[in-house]
Chain A
Amino acid sequence: MEEIKKIAKQLLSENKIQMVIGFEKGTANKVRPAFFKNADDVEKLIYNDTCIHNLALYLKKDICHHIANVGIIANPNVVRSIIQLASENQVKEEKITIIGISYEGKCVGILDFKAAEEFAKTQPKGLKPEDRAFIEKIQAMPLEERFNYWVETFSTCVKCYACRASCPMCYCGKCNVETNNPQWIPVASHKYGNMEWHIMRAMHLAGRCINCGECTRACPVDIPLNMLSYMLTDFVMDEFHTEAGLSTTYAPALSSYTNVDKENFIK
């Protein structure tokens, strides 16, 4: 933690960066994301096991718009998010300074994009065994039971869109759910609208999700919606042999193609 502070302070005092995105103490023994604009404030910066928010989210928010260079305390999830955002031309290398931190909390110093790619490769994301077990459990259900399971699970959804708000990949200025001509997604949170919303969300993140799990963590009713994305990440890996968040030159799975994609289901 001292090392992170030292780097952040130095960068700020040398005016190499104008803001650091990190964590500070919040209420009730929790941490919250914080934005430090001068070196003295950095004393408040903390980093520990509870700092799990994906800070890459803020890179696309107004708060970073007019800042020449933003420093960001980046755990592997954040690093992958930044790489993925870069591959989608959403962030520029010269406007970001990544202060990398491994899963174990070890500071690895300042990373440029190339170093970030290398770093991301050494930090395995993969599915946790319990996630895989969950996916297999659903897969083993008969079709109807599976459908009912998801309908019931989604029925608690209140359409707060916290999953969208917490997702660094959901950066569209205008989301499809706000479109009302045509009304793609019903506004009310009934079973049908909830189902459509979650189908759309999963499809829009297919091959782009970097599996940070923020959506599920942000969900107030604990819908395991990251399982949809995890499952699709697996599928994309199996079918297209590519993975989001590892390369800044990544060709998104759904906007690229090869001549030999499987078509055994097409008549």
Chain B
Amino acid sequence: MSEFEPKIVAFVCNWCTYAGADLTGTSRIKYSSNVRIIRFPCTGRIDYMLLTKAFASGADGIIVSGCHPNDCHYTSGNFHARRRWMVFRRLCDFMGIDTRRIIFSWVSAAEGAKWAQIVNSANEEFKKLGPYENYHKLSTQEIFE
């Protein structure tokens, strides 16, 4: 049997991390190909429901990334997002949703190498954690129980 390849969903902001990921490509840096990048206007737009939806649709791990503090294209989107993530992480932890599977990061448009490193290390970690069966089971098999 081949090695487990985690499905990773990356929610990234248009202005920094998406451009950063683009730089990773144009710099020809190799990184794990099992990440699916979804582009958003801003981290402030990334609703926590999208994260739970990603888990429910089969993601094993999630990366959420945007501009560094004070670099937001819309001035304060990432500050609002940061607070939301803090609260969401606390709630997830309390409800037993694995917060190790949600990785938050700041990656600017100039940090192509950092993006590659974030994805690779996330990939390694999610590989160790294995498929997120708990949540997948919840959303698929047990629906018609």
Q: Which of B111-141 contact A (CB under 8 A)?
A: 118, 134, 138-139
CA distance A267 to B97 in the complex (A): 20
Minimum C-beta distance from B89 to chain A (A): 6
Q: A86 interface residue, CB < 8 Å from B?
A: no
A200 contacts across to B, CB distance below 8 A: 49
Q: B79 interface residue, CB < 8 Å from A?
A: yes
A: number of interface residues (CB 8 Å): 48
CA distance A145 to B94 in the complex (A): 11
Q: From A151, which residue of chain B is reached at the shortest CB distance?
A: B138
Scoring A residues 137 to 158 as 1 if CB is less than 8 Å from chain B, else 0, what string do you get? 0110101111111110000000
Let me know if A267 and B94 touch, CB within 8 A: no
If A254-B83, A265-B89 touch, whether A144 touches B49 (CB-CB below 8 Å) is no
Which residue of A143, A195, A198, A265 contacts B138 across the interface (Cβ within 8 Å)? A195
A261 contacts across to B, CB distance below 8 A: 79, 82-83, 86
A144 contacts across to B, CB distance below 8 A: 96, 134
Closest 6 CB pairs of A and B: A147-B96, A146-B96, A257-B79, A267-B105, A192-B139, A266-B104
Which residue of A135, A147, A192 contacts B95 across the interface (Cβ within 8 Å)? A147
Scoring A residues 169 to 199 as 1 if CB is less than 8 Å from chain B, else 0, what string do you get? 0000000100000001000101110011011
Q: Which of A7-15, A42-50, A232-240 faces chain B?
A: A232-240
A148 contacts across to B, CB distance below 8 A: 96
B97 contacts across to A, CB distance below 8 A: 147
Q: From A188, which residue of chain B is reached at the shortest CB distance?
A: B143
Q: From A142, which residue of chain B is reached at the shortest CB distance?
A: B96
Let me know if A253 and B91 touch, CB within 8 A: no
CA distance A190 to B138 in the complex (A): 9
